[in-house]
Amino acid sequence: MQIPIYQVDAFSTVPFSGNPAAVCPLDAWLPKEYLQAIAQENCLSETAFFVARDHSGEYDLRWFTPNQEVDLCGHATLATSHVLFQELGVDEPMLHFHTKSGELIVRKLNQGYEMDFPAVPTSMFFQPLDLPTLIGVEGRVIGRAMDVLVRVESEADVRALKPNMAAIATVPARGLIVTAPGDDEGVDFVSRFFAPQAGVPEDPVTGSAHCTLAPYWAKELGKNSFFAQQIGPRGGELHIRLEGTHVLLMGQAVTVIKGHIYLPDSL
């Protein structure tokens, strides 16, 4: 049995930047242990698997890190959309993905892809965190959604983080988002994202984290449209708009690898 596989750099227009994701089109769902094994073999922050539904433009979509299935992933959804539109020639005005987080809609625009995701604002988080031990700098815990959101003083602090992965892995959440206002004119905020507990020590560009960052910065800055940068070692850029309970994420993507996975014919 052969399964097509594409590796796509999401939130980027050039290869070897942005956030890489693997994308596997399937005719039907494989057992979960095979999906997890493929994701572990890929050793990327996310591998996306999709199966087409009977209605045109509608797909079931799942995401796996190297060690677990996750409920929401932005960059692998962007990568999947890129594969459908650019590699598989889907000619639809928009894609409808049915996921553990509900229906996600992606539109192809002249300047890239627009993903319609749910806003995920934080709620109170009462567990004390020793931030100097976790990330090497002082900061303030804003709250918890899928991830714990931490604000630090400056972009320089975000760049200078010294993440203690073993300590971060004990935080009771999917991961840890660290954010600050941007230094450059036109950059509203910057961030980094750590999720060693999900098998992703540092994610280069995390679309789903911006579902929490957008409502937070909307309150802080009094605006609903943002240009954001994720500024880890690889990093990337996002255009974001908050519309009520929805976050619209704009990004581009580029294919860097095409191939096949070979599984036993008896599967």
Q: What is the pLDDT of residue 222?
A: 98
**Closest C-alpha to 242, from 119, 120, 73:** 119
**Does residue 43 come out as left (phi exceeding 0), alpha (psi in the -120 to 50 range) or beta?**
left
- Which residue stretches of the chain have pLDDT < 70? 266-267
What residue type is assigned to position 98 of the chain?
Answer: H
The rounded distance, in Å, linking the Cα atoms of 31 and 1 is 14
**Catalytic-role residue among 33, 41, 46, 185:** 46
Alpha helices in 182-233 (DSSP H): 210-221
Q: What is the pLDDT of residue 264?
A: 85
pLDDT, tens digit, 9 for 90 and up, residues 21-55? 999 999 999 999 999 999 999 999 999 999 999 88
> Distance between alpha carbon 57 and the CA centroid of its chain, in Å?
22
**Closest C-alpha to 139, from 178, 168, 176, 171:** 178
According to DSSP, the β-strands at 176-181 and 148-151 are parallel
The rounded distance, in Å, linking the Cα atoms of 244 and 115 is 15
∠ CA 81-256-20 to the nearest 5 degrees? 65
Cα-based distances in Å from 87 to 39, 205, 207, 236, 239: 21, 22, 22, 22, 24
Q: What is the pLDDT of residue 267?
A: 63
The rounded distance, in Å, linking the Cα atoms of 131 and 152 is 10
**Does residue 133 come out as left (phi exceeding 0), alpha (psi in the -120 to 50 range) or beta?**
alpha
**Strand-pair partners of 19:** 10
**Does residue 93 come out as left (phi exceeding 0), alpha (psi in the -120 to 50 range) or beta?**
alpha
Q: What is the pLDDT of residue 232?
A: 85
Phi, psi (5° rounding) for residue 182?
-75, 150
Q: What is the pLDDT of residue 117?
A: 94
Q: Which domains does the chain have, with CATH numbers?
A: 2-118+251-262 (3.10.310.10), 131-244 (3.10.310.10)
46 given a catalytic annotation? yes
Token reading at 226:
């943002």
The rounded distance, in Å, linking the Cα atoms of 177 and 129 is 13
pTM given for the model: 0.91
Q: Scan for tokens 């999906």, then name that residue.
A: 35
Q: What is the pLDDT of residue 16?
A: 92
Q: What is the pLDDT of residue 158?
A: 98
The rounded distance, in Å, linking the Cα atoms of 196 and 164 is 10
The rounded distance, in Å, linking the Cα atoms of 21 and 254 is 11
